Structure 1
Amino acid sequence: MAHKPTLEDVATLAGVSIATVDRVVNRRGGVRPDREGRVLAAARRLKLDRQLGRAYAHRLRVAVLIQSAVNPFHAALGRAFANLDRSYLDLNIQFLVHHLDPNRPDRIPGLIDRLARAHDGLVVASPADDGIAAALRRAAVSIPVATLATDVPGSGRHAYVGPDDVKGGRVAGELIGRFLAAAGGDVLMITGLRSMAGHRDRESGFRAVLREHFPACRLIALEESREMAQGAGDVAAAALRSHPGLKAIYLSSAGADRVVAALKAAGAPNVVFVTHELTDDRRALLQVREIHAVVDQDTSAEVQIVAEVMARLLGRLDGSAPVPLAPVRVFTPESC
């Protein structure tokens, strides 16, 4: 007959006393979080017949630092964290959303420092500069840090969860090139903030694919919206006035509804419009053919992945989780 695991076996594997194991498994409290994690990891490995996921007495708090819900993509991220399945409650991990202003990067390092002192882990979707990278390096010394949706080079983060934005930009360029066909024409790109690594990567991929495969498509301007919807609309309106023959707009950030409004006001229904992220508002615009195509990265899947990564980094799940790049998906009016 196979040996049934005992508390002594768990204690030996975890390197703690039997009394510590008893306090953890029976939820008596008073055990340091690192020891608690070792006990429960050992018990899972030994397949101890208990509901171990519910035995974590110490709650771990993970700060999630993203933009406010004014940005539809970040609103979707916030909803996805709110809708994480019950397994993270069973693991006693709480994800707490906080907001940053991407146009005030000078305030972000201090915010990171404060959140790192008060939380057990940190997930960040932020612009990138030396001060922000340094703050993340400080945080990563003591707690797990993951970047989400856009990376921060030089940050010392433990994981990046998000898309290959160079590929996303290339896909957008491929779509516009094929929509315009051999005739090509003038193209406007509207980015959010070039201080965000993801936006720079999209620009790089977009430029490269036009240069390599669609030389008749001319990128006449690249403008920042500052991650503001109205900013995107204003840039589009100005470009339509100064370039009446504009053939396509590529928007890599917020403000799709404002770009559509600018196209309508200019009487330019035939301008090709490609953007990113299949948020609810963009799905609606796509369904009525105000947008030609959307390049999407599946925010819900990204949040599930980063939550699992955090649970593993915090010792609440066993093993090291691979972090695949989020797949790039394309939606048209007939497929959304």
Structure 2
Amino acid sequence: MKTLVWVEHDNAVMKDATLAVVTAAGKLGEVHALVAGSGCGAVAEQVAKVAGVATVHVADDASLEHGLAENVAPLVAKLMESHDAFLAPATTTGKNIAPRVAALLDVMQISDILSVEGPKTFTRPIYAGNAIATVESSDAKLVITVRGTAFDKAATEGGSAAIENVGGAADAGLSSFVSAEIAKSERPELTSAKVIVSGGRALGSGEKFEEVITPLADKLGAGIGASRAAVDAGYVPNDYQVGQTGKIVAPEVYVAVGISGAIQHLAGMKDSKTIIAINKDEDAPIFQVADIGLVADLFTAVPELTGKL
């Protein structure tokens, strides 16, 4: 089976999310990667070194500079004539492109897979991760999105893939790039951070969030996350949100401060290696998944913990 992996990048650097997809694709067969962008030659060189990648297809065209799904999907659909499966990370961009590819191929998409059980058999979460479904496709072509936290990342060195240029890119005229407002931070991205400190609605305000959570995250060199309730209350921006409708994370250490543990939030972080919960409610659902739990007032406990680090 030949698989085609969508490489997520910014025309300069490959995103980490791609590496887990390469691992998943390797369980199905030969791995080909698609680098679609403008002036993206450096990305192609990076992908060629990834262990397990056999061929890198490069589509370099101005219409692909911003990865607009309406322009990328027809290109992928054309390449699928010589491939059996298309895999993309279950990120915002991947989840934008994959459904359009599935529609063009007239097949069912298999979303957010957790494991590969056979050539056309996979597991995926349902009911906010409270149940795991095993699904088998009967389609000739597969279109799959991959949950990055469920697969190990492929090594970024050791590969020697051939690089091939592909044509066929064009502006579909269905959408246009207007602008991007990208938050810049010295902290690691949530999806790649090894340690994450998250705050919940119990913090009470954006000022308290900054006062309590930020010093602890600074001491730990951690990324900062938040529950949906904290985001909805305006304490922090949307890109901090961890959960089913936010970012799915699986760091080495996840510290949940003042988070009760609603199903929506647990779905986004319960695969973390070690979960530490601080909450004054001993019956909070977060303690059911926590490896270490502290029943205490967060406004006392967290500054004390920060001071001892």
Structure number with higher helix proportion:
1
TM value normalised by structure 1: 0.24
TM score, norm. by length of structure 2 = 0.26
- Flag the structure with higher strand content: 2
